[in-house]
Amino acid sequence: MHTMMAHVIPPLRTRFIAAVFTFIALWGCALSITRYSIPEEMEEGSFVANLATDLGLDVRSLVQRSAKLDVIHSKNYLDINKETGELLIREKIDRESICMTKTTSCFLKMDVILENPIRIFNIELEIMDINDNAPVFRRRTMHLDISEATPPGERFSLTNAVDADVGANSIKTYYLSESKYFNIDIQTGSDGSKYVDLVLNGHLDREEHAVHNLILTAVDGGVPPRSGTASIVINVLDINDNAPLFSQPVFSLNVSENSAAGTVVMTLNATDLDEGTNAQLIYSYTLYTSEKTQELFSLDPNSGEIKVKGVIDYEESQSFEMHIQAQDGGANPKSGHCKVTVFVTDLNDNYPEVTIKSVKSALTEDVSVGTLIAVVSVSDRDSGDNGKVELTLNGQEYLPFLLNKSSDGYFELLVSKPLDREIISKYDITLRVTDKGSPPLSENETITLEILDVNDNAPAFSQSFYTIHVVENNQPGALLTSLSAFDPDLNENQYLVYFIMEKVIVNTSMSMLFSINPENGDLYALKTFDYEREREFLFHIEARDSGVPPLSSNVTVHIIILDQNDNTPLIVSPWRAQGSVVEEVIPRSTDKGHLITKVIAIDADSEQNARVTYQLLQISDTTLFSLDQYNGEIRTTRMFSYRDPRQQRLVIVAKDNGDPALSATVTIKISTVEHVMSFSETTELPLEYDFFTDLNLYLVIGLGAVSFLLLITILVIIVLKCQKPKPKAMKMPPPNRNSVISRNSMISQRSSTIADSTLISSDAYWYSLFLAETRKGQVVVRQPIIPKGAGYFVSSIPRSIGPSETTDSRASTLEYSK
């Protein structure tokens, strides 16, 4: 191991010794320094020097030896052109940014380094200053406050200007703009810098010139010279050297007597040329002003405003004198004086007076024209024209009153036109009395007159005729409408009572059908109305006030009952017992289009609710029969064949056109036979209808019992009153049109009788056609024409014609109740 170290140490020591000798050689080569001088702000690419020539180098060696420029402690402002060996400006050089301190010399140090072998050349580049900076004041505006009492010769220091340049390019002198009050004194410091003082030359007067604006200019010594400016603003401070001054020493003015307190007489305005507290003035009375004057007039110490303070009466004093001073607020206050003379002007200062006697505060509206309301007297304490007065009534052309002069200074207030409380219920009568002074004075007096009501207006309805529509089947007690009348009178003359004027229709009083609330006129229905029984009502309602005597008026009320689809169509032909099937027998040889039967249904409603149409609900063979939906005729659509069953079943529905629609059905069983039994003669086979089922019978018995009891009661009352009894016809109650019709006769299976009836109109007449078809083909037609009526019923009567040879039956007819 020691052997290896012995071999390594000698090579290391040899290298260290070689490096030391190389550094010593290079240091010796770099001891020589080359200096150049250039001005600052040279353009880029400007020529500085030829380094190859100055350093004795071959231009070609600059490239070969990799020449480079190393600037010490600064940016690289320079560069070497290796092709020509020239030193060039790479970037503009600002001397003030390189040399911050204000020294006359400024150097930029750099090294030129060559390799192979290494060689270093020291270069110093001196940057010479040029006049590229103008003087600048640290404060562009300087403010100075100088009292106007400052003596001439006083000095004031000013902020000096600075210049980044050095030497001759630095600040050389200062200039001040022209002024007769100020100049400057320039001082030079130990470092050569210039300082300036402002010197006061004369006496300042703030009232003449309050602010002085000067311009201070600093100029350097460069060529051409540069300059900078600053403003000097001098505020002259005030001293109390001026006394207050009034615009004139004596003021004269007029004031009317009885001027209201607070009335401005005049405003004094003294002026002081000073400012601040030296110009703040205080006004006051001097000792020469009497106490009486000070009691009548007030003086505002700040504004100098003179106002009326007491009552000024011309009869007591015709003029006043005030001696007033204005004093400023300076340390040594100064004052000014003036005299104010006030002359009092006489006025018409006494108002006329109105006195009302024997006044009435209320009158009824029916008083006669000429009625006395009040006695009025007028007076005025003034004399001459100021004491002459005139009394007028404001708005007399619109009022039903007038003034009548009864004697000197006295007037009567009378009613001149008829009064109507409903037009005007209260009057505010204004009496105006005016004197003839200049200007005239006037006084008003108001009399409030209330007009009392009398019952002179009858109630009035908003309409003379009321039409009210009521849908049938209404609830008893339903509100129909509200009938209200208006009465412009007051109190009990205005309180209205409503009632129905009694009227009997078909032994029925209106008060049993309708009721009216006597207080508010609400009209109610007391029963449920049926359009099929009663269509309309016409009666009168009276409104009566509570006056003495009472007044009333009436209005006509027309109640129209509107139809409701509440009746189911009733099938009257072909007739069948309740729940039974209608059987019809026809020969199988019947031709196409043969009328088998005709379904007739009636509906007690009206218009669309009574319009009945017919439909096939069920049919055993749709190809064999047809039904006319309007007249209910059932006809064959083809001839019978041997395949057709001998019995056919049809279900017919009769439906009205109401909303919702109501309907009834009938089932018809049609049997076909080879031959039909014939009658020996043409006979009429009417059907018999019977409305009297068990329910109807009970109803008739009940109604008869009630009617009998009512008749007995009436007879008893008549006997008790010893009056001659009056005969009273009993009216049988109408039968129930919704009861089921029962059949009392039987129809033979070998013959058929077809009732053919068509309802033309519910409120026109019945049209009935009875067609009897016999085996011989003989036909008997019966066609009665029925007059109009309010309803119908079916009754059974015995047949007058004897029965046929095949059956014994009774005829039935359809009758109309009148």
**15 pLDDT exceeds 80?**
no
E strand segments, 683-729: none
Nearest by Cα to 801 from 758, 770, 757: 770
Categorize the per-residue pLDDT at 640 as very low, low, confident or very high, splitting at 50, 70 and 90.
confident
Contact by Cβ (8 Å): 127, 107: yes
Please give the CATH number for the structural domain made up of 570-673.
Answer: 2.60.40.60
pLDDT mean over 387-411: 88
Answer with the residue of higher pLDDT: 632 or 129.
632
Categorize the per-residue pLDDT at 557 as very low, low, confident or very high, splitting at 50, 70 and 90.
very high
Q: Which of 291-295, 516-520, 770-774 has the lowest mean pLDDT?
A: 770-774
Contact by Cβ (8 Å): 566, 523: no
Of 74-78, 90-94, 535-539, give the range with the top mean pLDDT.
Answer: 535-539
Q: Is the peptide bond before 549 cis (omega within 30 degrees of 0)?
A: yes
**65 pLDDT exceeds 70?**
yes
Q: What integer pLDDT is reported at residue 32 of this predicted model? A: 67
Q: What integer pLDDT is reported at residue 800 of this predicted model? A: 33
Tell which CATH architecture fits domain 460-562.
Answer: Sandwich (2.60)
Integer Cα distance of 363 and 421 in angstroms: 10
E strand or H helix at 696: helix 694-720
**776 pLDDT exceeds 50?**
no
Report the percentage of the chain scoring pLDDT > 70: 80
Q: What integer pLDDT is reported at residue 199 of this predicted model? A: 92
Structure tokens at 761: 């109109």
**97 pLDDT exceeds 80?**
no
E strand segments, 40-85: 47-50, 68-71, 78-81
Answer with the residue of higher pLDDT: 499 or 793.
499
Largest Cα separation within the chain, whole Å, is 183
Answer with the residue of higher pLDDT: 778 or 663.
663
pLDDT mean over 627-634: 89
E strand segments, 588-708: 595-598, 600-602, 612-619, 625-627, 633-636, 647-656, 663-673
Q: What integer pLDDT is reported at residue 469 of this predicted model? A: 93
Categorize the per-residue pLDDT at 695 as very low, low, confident or very high, splitting at 50, 70 and 90.
low
Q: Specify the 3-state DSSP secondary structure of 305.
A: strand
Q: What integer pLDDT is reported at residue 22 of this predicted model? A: 40
Nearest by Cα to 321 from 298, 339, 299, 300: 339
pLDDT mean over 133-141: 88
- Beta strand 372-379 with 410-415 is antiparallel
Q: What integer pLDDT is reported at residue 550 of this predicted model? A: 92
Q: Which conformational region is residue 607 in: left (phi greater than 0), alpha (psi within -120 to 50 degrees), or beta?
A: left
Contact by Cβ (8 Å): 741, 572: yes
**442 pLDDT exceeds 50?**
yes
**76 pLDDT exceeds 80?**
no
Q: Which of 365-374, 541-550, 684-693, 768-777 has the lowest mean pLDDT?
A: 768-777
Q: What integer pLDDT is reported at residue 231 of this predicted model? A: 93
**267 pLDDT exceeds 90?**
yes
Integer Cα distance of 760 and 745 in angstroms: 27
Q: What integer pLDDT is reported at residue 321 of this predicted model? A: 94
Integer Cα distance of 699 and 796 in angstroms: 18
Please give the CATH number for the structural domain made up of 353-425.
Answer: 2.60.40.60
- What are the CA-CA distances from residue 234 to residues 145, 147, 174, 275 (Å)? 6, 10, 19, 16
Categorize the per-residue pLDDT at 302 as very low, low, confident or very high, splitting at 50, 70 and 90.
very high
Q: Which conformational region is residue 579 in: left (phi greater than 0), alpha (psi within -120 to 50 degrees), or beta?
A: left
Q: What integer pLDDT is reported at residue 696 of this predicted model? A: 66
Categorize the per-residue pLDDT at 25 as very low, low, confident or very high, splitting at 50, 70 and 90.
very low
Burial 708-721 (b: 16+ CB within 10 A, else e): eeeeeeeeeeeeee
- Indicate the DSSP class of residue 8: H
**21 pLDDT exceeds 70?**
no
**711 pLDDT exceeds 60?**
yes
Question: For the chain, how big is the Rg over CA atoms in Å?
Answer: 70
Categorize the per-residue pLDDT at 722 as very low, low, confident or very high, splitting at 50, 70 and 90.
low
Q: Which of 196-200, 298-302, 751-755 has the lowest mean pLDDT?
A: 751-755
pLDDT mean over 89-108: 78
**122 pLDDT exceeds 80?**
yes
Contact by Cβ (8 Å): 218, 169: no
In words, the CATH class of domain 245-345 is mainly beta
Taking only the tens place, the pLDDT of each residue in 423-440 is 998 999 999 999 888 888
Structure tokens at 581: 């099937």
pLDDT mean over 405-427: 90
Categorize the per-residue pLDDT at 217 as very low, low, confident or very high, splitting at 50, 70 and 90.
very high
Categorize the per-residue pLDDT at 51 as very low, low, confident or very high, splitting at 50, 70 and 90.
confident
Categorize the per-residue pLDDT at 684 as very low, low, confident or very high, splitting at 50, 70 and 90.
very low
Taking only the tens place, the pLDDT of each residue in 458-516 is 999 989 899 999 998 889 989 999 998 999 988 888 899 999 987 776 677 888 889 99
pLDDT mean over 504-531: 86
E strand or H helix at 480: strand 479-482
Amino acid sitting at position 351: Y
Identify how many contiguous H helices and E strands the chain contains and give both numbers: 7, 56
What topology does CATH give the domain 136-237? Immunoglobulin-like (2.60.40)
Q: What integer pLDDT is reported at residue 725 of this predicted model? A: 44
In 619-693, which ranges are continuous DSSP H helix? none
- Beta strand 141-147 with 155-157 is unpaired
Please give the CATH number for the structural domain made up of 34-127.
Answer: 2.60.40.60
Q: Which of 96-110, 276-290, 661-675 has the lowest mean pLDDT?
A: 96-110
pLDDT mean over 18-42: 59
Residues 6 or more apart in contact with residue 806 via CB below 8 angstroms: 677, 679, 748, 750, 751
Answer with the residue of higher pLDDT: 755 or 662.
662
**688 pLDDT exceeds 60?**
no
Please tell me whether the overall predicted TM-score, pTM, comes out greater than 0.85 for this model.
no
Residue ranges of the domains in the chain? 34-127, 136-237, 245-345, 353-425, 460-562, 570-673
Q: Specify the 3-state DSSP secondary structure of 97.
A: helix
542 burial via Cβ count (<10 Å: 0-12, 13-18, 19+): middle
Categorize the per-residue pLDDT at 816 as very low, low, confident or very high, splitting at 50, 70 and 90.
very low
Please state, as a whole number, how many other Cβ atoms lie within 10 Å of the Cβ of residue 439.
8
Q: Which residue has the tokens 């006997």?
A: 719
Average pLDDT, the chain: 78
Kindly tell me the sign of the dihedral angle through the C-alpha atoms of 696, 697, 703, 706: negative
Residues 6 or more apart in contact with residue 684 via CB below 8 angstroms: 770, 772, 780, 782, 801, 811
pLDDT mean over 37-49: 85
Residues 6 or more apart in contact with residue 142 via CB below 8 angstroms: 158, 159, 216, 230, 231, 232, 233
**682 pLDDT exceeds 50?**
no
Contact by Cβ (8 Å): 667, 649: yes
Q: What integer pLDDT is reported at residue 676 of this predicted model? A: 56
Q: What integer pLDDT is reported at residue 253 of this predicted model? A: 93
Structure tokens at 241: 């050297």
Q: Specify the 3-state DSSP secondary structure of 709.
A: helix
- Indicate the DSSP class of residue 294: H
